[in-house]
Structure 1
Amino acid sequence: MLFHLSIAARNPRHVAQVLAEFWRGEAFPFPPVAQGSWIAVAGDERGTAIEVYPLGTVLREAEGDADSFGEATQQNGYTATHAALATTLSQAEVMAIASREGWPAKYRKRGGTFGVIELWIEGRQMVELLTQEMQAEYLASATIDNFRAMMRGMSGDG
């Protein structure tokens, strides 16, 4: 179960506000880790949230009995980090928001088993948005047995 994750963005406030919109949640300033950070809060029973740091921020381990902290760097390209997020919005509503923002988005079928809307925040950070129908497909396919079968198929041990 995922409670929260963090990403970096050129405009953390705006990105957090748009992410919160997908959840019908709310965005707030979030300075504990790095100045200029924001957080998108879903308002669900799990406390789901995405922290959005200024682009170039990296997390570093703090010495001794202290929390990790954000450090500004010049890193600003693509990242391997992504998340699959549930939304109560329809595919048309998600696409309308993506279009409004100028963020690339398209429907994709992952492995022929479940659909996602592949959305590129600010054109550089991918998230997969799953409508209610897509969530049902995902939950039906994301089982331990199915992962085992997929890995066997990829390793040639069929």
Structure 2
Amino acid sequence: MTLLHLSITARSPKAFARTVARLLGGEALPFPPCPGAWIAFADADDGTAVEVYPAGTRLSAGPEALAFSPGPPRRSTGATHFAIASPLKAQQILDLVEGVGWTARRCDRGPFSCLEVWTGEGLLIEVLDSGMLADYRKGMTAANWRAMFGMEE
């Protein structure tokens, strides 16, 4: 299985999508199916994307297709977060994040390390450069997870 895209909400979808697109090495474009939404594409241009809807947007099953409706913005993202691989080097990521007013720090997650990026929306994005991604792919396996947490069969 491969994650192809995900959707989140933001107070400023355009600015948020543009920053995420820069982290992904790609580009941000309007997302016409949802008024005011934007989509950030990854550099590979293989369909990997993050859809960014206006804060408060709700999804529902419309009569024939997905329907978008406005709602009041939520204050908390809860436990929602995501990890992305970036073609940028760690320092470039840190500089980009600082430049848009977000915060970041280097973190060790056990089987991998990442840059823990906190957006102005209170959302966590774990950003991995190429070296971190290599460690992630080696360490984040079901077998390693079982071993790390004593779940051997």
**TM-score (norm: length of structure 1):** 0.87
Shift of residue 123, structure 1, vs aligned partner:
4.6
- d(CA) in 2 for partners of 1:90 and 1:75? 33
In structure 2, how many angstroms separate the alpha carbons of the residues matched to 1:129 and 1:44? Answer: 16
Distance 1:134 1:93, change over 3 A: same
Task: Say what the alpha-carbon RMSD is for the aligned residues.
Answer: 1.9
The answer for the alignment partner of 1:92 in structure 2 is 91
Name the amino acid aligned to 2:128. L
Q: CA-to-partner distance for each residue in 1:66-92, whole Å, 9 max, x for gaps?
A: 224343223232332211100011111
Among all aligned residue pairs of Structure 1 and Structure 2, give the percentage whose two residues are the same amino acid. Answer: 38
Q: Secondary structure at the match of 2:146?
A: helix
For structure 2, the residue ranges without an aligned partner over 5 or more in a row are none
Conserved in 1, the CA contact under 8 Å of 2:57 and 2:68?
no
* Structure 1 unaligned spans of 5+: none
CA contact (8 A) 2:112 2:140 kept: no
Amino acid at match of 1:55: A
TM-score, L = length of structure 2:
0.89
Cα distance in 1 between the residues matched to 2:43 and 2:94? 22
- Decide whether the 8 Å contact of 1:56 with 1:72 is kept in 2: yes
| Contact 1:103–1:122 (8 Å) recurs in 2 | yes
Answering whether residue 117 of structure 2 is matched by residue 80 of structure 1, we say no
For the residue of structure 2 that corresponds to 1:152, the secondary structure is coil
Secondary structure of the residue aligned to 1:136 is helix
- 1-structure distance, mates of 2:45, 2:13: 24
**Which residue does 2:129 correspond to in 1?**
131
Whole-angstrom distance in 1 between the partners of 2:150 and 2:60: 37
- Does 93-102 or 143-152 show the bigger shift? 143-152
Equivalent residue for 2:3?
2
Shift of 1:137: 0.6
Kept in 1, the 8 Å contact 2:23–2:88? The answer is yes
SS for the counterpart of 2:105 is: strand
Q: How does 1:2-151 map onto structure 2 within 5 Å?
A: 2-32=3-33, 34-44=34-44, 46-62=46-62, 64-111=63-110, 113-151=111-149
Are 2:7 and 2:50, in contact at CA under 8 Å, matched by a contact in 1?
yes
Q: 1:126 to 1:70 in 2, by over 3 A?
A: farther
Letter in 2 for 1:29: P
Residue type at the aligned position of 1:60: S
CA distance in 2, matches of 1:11, 1:140: 36
